[in-house]
Chain A
Amino acid sequence: MSDVAERVKKIVVEHLGVEEDKVTENASFIDDLGADSLDTVELVMAFEEEFGIEIPDDAAETIQTFGDAVKFISEAS
């Protein structure tokens, strides 16, 4: 697993309080990991901080799964 993926996973685990093995490529934050809509905003905020990037609102909306987040951040940073 890439460094980005490791760091994203750590944030997701800490933020949503889920088991690490639940955070799979296609795991949806809302449908599979129990996040509510505000949690997803907070996750995006945490990603921005961890990776020193800006994630605009329209891009944030496309980040639905763990895989989406890793892909977006890898391309942006």
Chain B
Amino acid sequence: MFDLSGKNALVTGASGGIGGEIAKALHAAGATVGLSGTRVEPLEALAAELGERAHVLPCNLGDAEAVEALPKQAVEAMGSVDILVNNAGITRDNLFMRMSDEEWAQVLDINLTSTFRLCRGVLRGMMKARWGRIVNISSIVGATGNPGQGNYAAAKAGMVGMSKSLAYEVAARGITVNAIAPGFIATAMTDKLNDKQKEAILTQIPAGRMGNPEEIAAAALYLASNEAGYVTGTTIHVNGGMAML
């Protein structure tokens, strides 16, 4: 149903579970994809798996200059950035009372500030093209909070407010800005939880299971499509009913 032929998509965190699936879904719909991430090996592996229309664009999102350069590198490699998926994220969990300034700053920097910079970096091209799709991967904890994740929840909630503000500014230019808030998805990030934690989480999920990265990718594909042109400033919650927002 969704055809992204001729569109160029930049996906951050493409070396991770969700980002990799998003890149695959956009690619399968015909888009050329720029795969960004810090770890080159999994990016190369994904690019090899995808074959044509895949470019590896390594970037450390903690490095402001590298972040500024990424949209330009993506344009050099692909010709334009029509779709931006800000998926990269890190966690530095700690109880609020014990959280260091560094843990706070790292998470805000990489999860929120780099998203801001990348959005800003791709807008010029999208404005000229009168077409653009920005999809920011937030999190359920941005809406519900989560003990031990004051920094992460703040960054993820921040992405939602930022997306809405930007959505207002550029809506008349054919650019949409939306967020996706995944619940608990089976990835390396949630693998860090022990069995007891996982069991406790499952009791709170009406669907009775963790989600798959493919289920996030499907939402991203929709938001990136032409068909979603009238959807902007919203957050799609993909969480098995864990929080019905």
A35 to chain B, nearest CB (A): 12
Nearest-CB residue, chain B, relative to A37: B169
Q: Would you call the interface of chain A mostly helix, strand, loop, or mixed?
A: helix
CB-based contact A45/B124 at 8 Å? yes
Interface residues of B in 123-152 (CB under 8 A from A): 124, 127-128
> Please, what's the 1-or-0 string for A10-45, where 1 marks a CB less than 8 Å from any CB in chain B?
000000000000000000000000000010011001
> What is the chain B residue whose CB lies nearest that of A46?
B128
Sort chain A's interface into a size bin.
under 10
Residue pair B170, A38 in contact (C-beta under 8 Å): yes
Q: Restricting to B148-174, which residues have a CB under 8 Å from any CB of A?
A: 169-170, 172-173
Task: Tell me if B169 and A38 are in contact (CB < 8 A).
Answer: yes
Bound-state Cα–Cα, A42 to B172, Å: 13
Q: What residues on B are CB-neighbors of A38 within 8 Å?
A: 127, 169-170, 172-173
CA distance A41 to B169 in the complex (A): 12
A23 to B128, CA, bound (A): 22
In the bound complex, residues from chain A placing their C-beta under 8 Å from that of B170 are: 38
Chain B residues near A45 (CB-CB < 8 A): 124, 127-128
- In the complex, what distance in Å separates the CA atom of A45 from the CA atom of B127? 10
Chain A residue at minimum C-beta to C-beta distance from B173 = A38
* Chain B residues whose C-beta falls within 8 Å of the C-beta of A41 in the assembled complex: 127
Q: How many Å from the CB of A6 to the closest CB on chain B?
A: 22
Report A55 CB to chain B, min CB distance, Å. 13
Nearest CB of chain A from residue B203's CB, rounded to whole Å: 48
| B169, closest chain A residue (CB) | A38
Residues in A whose Cβ lies below 8 Å from that of B169: 38
Whole-angstrom CA separation of A45 from B129 in the bound complex: 13
| Least Cβ–Cβ distance between A39 and chain B, in angstroms | 10
A47 nearest CB across to chain B (Å): 13
**Contacts A38-B169, A42-B127, A45-B127 supplied; 7 other A-B pairs, CB < 8 Å:** A38-B127, A38-B170, A38-B172, A38-B173, A41-B127, A45-B124, A45-B128
Would you mind naming 10 contact pairs between A and B with Cβ atoms under 8 Å apart?
Answer: A38-B127, A38-B169, A38-B170, A38-B172, A38-B173, A41-B127, A42-B127, A45-B124, A45-B127, A45-B128
